[in-house]
Amino acid sequence: AAAFRALVSVRAEITRREQHLADHGCASIDELEVPPPRLVVVIDEFHALMATHPRASDLLEHLTALGRSLGVHLILATQRPLGIVTGQMKANINIRICLRVRDEADSFDVLGVPDAAHLPPGRPGSGLLDAGTTPLSFRVAVPFAEAVDDSHVHRPRLRPWTPDHSLENCPSIVRGVAA
């Protein structure tokens, strides 16, 4: 029930953003003088959400269709993707990542090719990324059996946040504007 309430809240935010764009005669938040912050919605175990709340499909189809222009981005994660992502969602999801899967059908459902089923099991973290062209292989994690000497790794000095710090004193890249 909490997951569906969260989706209802996301729908309310989408409606608010759509009205804000309409009020300003804009098609995208990028056209606004002061755009709202981008929102990233992460749904883990997407298959379970759809099994328990099938009505969520309509909202997520709407979100995948209009999300980017509204500054709302969606990350869906599931272990069993076969048949759960609708055709309309697939048409609007332009980046897909697939780690090693057991069945070629699961790989094909996510990437359109069976390749993720053939990733080597001895290379944890191996995956394929499809951004609209040929899927690219990558590796996201490399576990180590023994301790790794990371004394040479540069770690930036961090300062605790205090209320008197403002964005005016931050480098422009922190504010989201390239210098």
In the set 13, 18, 45, 104, the catalytic residue is 45
Spatial CB neighbours of 9, under 8 Å, sequence gap ≥ 6: none
Are 85 and 97 a contacting pair, CB within 8 Å? no
Instruction: Answer yes or no: are the C-beta atoms of 80 and 47 closer than 8 Å.
Output: yes
Intra-chain end-to-end CA distance of the chain, in Å: 45
CB 54 within 8 A of CB 14: no
45 is catalytic: yes
10 Å Cβ neighbour count for 107? 25
| Catalytic annotation, residues | 45
